[in-house]
């Protein structure tokens, strides 16, 4: 199977990556089920990348229903080391305007019905470091790539990830503003946590589509508004992706690459072969090889 080191996860409005050549469809099964859709592997800016639409082609999957474990595991299986996530967000700040782009650096988790938030459990206890949920190195490259575009690209922002699928109440929107949160979305988690568990660098291009519902002088957020503004911003996201590819070095020197090294708490001797087999792709390099039983 061809190995690909960079992946793009497309959100609302981004269901395919234009300009890919030498396309190949990859259907991968994982211990956690099937990914959202077929993974497209192709060449852009001289680099082989993988593209996966988070909600499936035709937008069939709601945020809570996204099988993020299968998505991230499948990309890991492909050899992916870096993921650029593209998603629609609402703004909770006057100066983060619709059609602006944000490269977020923090997340607040307000999800509650997403059981697939870790690869581990069932006899394997893992506690990853998640103080900086987005890879600072990859985010820096995205910021640099966006600086020369005729768009406002905010180099940082705290995102609150809500459960959905309904948009916020006005009280919720104002509460998040009081907390000092900048943008709101539905898909950053558990995706970012799983990417860290898989030791994959993860950063996001957050596309501002609306002012949520706190802004008294703006139209209340609706699906039509989100889609209209998102389609305009998707072209910006594609340009950033094309520009960032040549900036990404081959080697990684960030904490993402060794996130599991000191995070596996369970005594290796207590990990059952069944549990280890399910997540061996992620943890085998940190455990002693399984001894083969001699035939009698």
CA-based end-to-end distance of the chain: 36
Catalytic residue among 212, 224, 267, 284: 212
Angstrom distance (rounded) from CA 24 to CA 51: 11
CB 143 within 8 A of CB 94: no
Angstrom distance (rounded) from CA 54 to CA 5: 18
Angstrom distance (rounded) from CA 262 to CA 220: 46
Angstrom distance (rounded) from CA 4 to CA 50: 7
Angstrom distance (rounded) from CA 175 to CA 14: 30
CB 93 within 8 A of CB 86: no
| CB-based burial label for 274 (10 Å; 0-12, 13-18, 19+) | exposed
Catalytic residue among 37, 100, 210, 284: 210
Q: What phi and psi, each to the nearest 5 degrees, are found at residue 277?
A: -60, -40
Q: What phi and psi, each to the nearest 5 degrees, are found at residue 125?
A: -100, 125
Closest C-alpha to 71, from 112, 100, 28: 28
Residues 6+ apart with CB under 8 A from 296: none
Angstrom distance (rounded) from CA 101 to CA 97: 9
Q: Is 212 annotated as catalytic?
A: yes
- Could you give the 3-state DSSP secondary structure of residue 204? strand
Alpha carbon 171 to its chain centroid, in Å, reads: 28
Q: Is 284 annotated as catalytic?
A: no
Catalytic (active-site) positions: 210, 212
């Amino acid at each position: 199977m061809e190995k690909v080191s960079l992946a793009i996860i497309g959100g609302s409005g981004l269901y395919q990556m234009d300009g890919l050549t030498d396309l190949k469809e990859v259907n991968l099964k994982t211990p956690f089920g099937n990914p959202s859709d077929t993974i497209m592997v192709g060449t852009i800016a001289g680099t082989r990348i993988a593209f996966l639409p988070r909600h499936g082609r035709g937008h069939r999957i709601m945020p809570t229903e996204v099988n993020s474990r299968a998505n991230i595991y499948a990309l890991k299986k492909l050899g992916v080391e870096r993921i650029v996530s593209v998603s629609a967000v609402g703004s909770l700040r006057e100066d983060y305007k619709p059609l602006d782009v944000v490269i977020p650096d923090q997340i607040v988790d307000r999800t509650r019905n997403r059981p697939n938030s870790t690869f581990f459990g069932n006899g394997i206890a893992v506690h990853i470091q998640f103080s900086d949920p987005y890879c600072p190195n990859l985010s820096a490259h995205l910021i640099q790539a966006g600086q020369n575009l005729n768009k406002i690209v905010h180099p940082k922002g705290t995102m609150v990830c809500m459960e959905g699928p309904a948009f916020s109440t006005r009280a919720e929107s104002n509460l998040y503003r009081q907390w000092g949160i900048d943008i709101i979305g539905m898909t950053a988690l558990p995706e970012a946590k799983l990417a860290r568990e898989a030791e994959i660098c993860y950063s996001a291009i957050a596309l501002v589509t609306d002012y949520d519902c706190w802004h008294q002088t703006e139209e209340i957020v609706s699906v039509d508004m989100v889609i209209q503004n998102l389609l305009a911003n998707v072209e910006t996201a594609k340009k950033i992706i094309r520009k960032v590819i040549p900036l990404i070095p081959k080697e990684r020197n960030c904490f993402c690459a060794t996130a599991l090294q000191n995070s596996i708490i369970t005594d290796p001797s207590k990990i059952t072969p069944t549990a280890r087999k399910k997540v061996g792709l992620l943890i085998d390099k940190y455990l002693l090889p399984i001894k083969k039983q001699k035939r009698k």
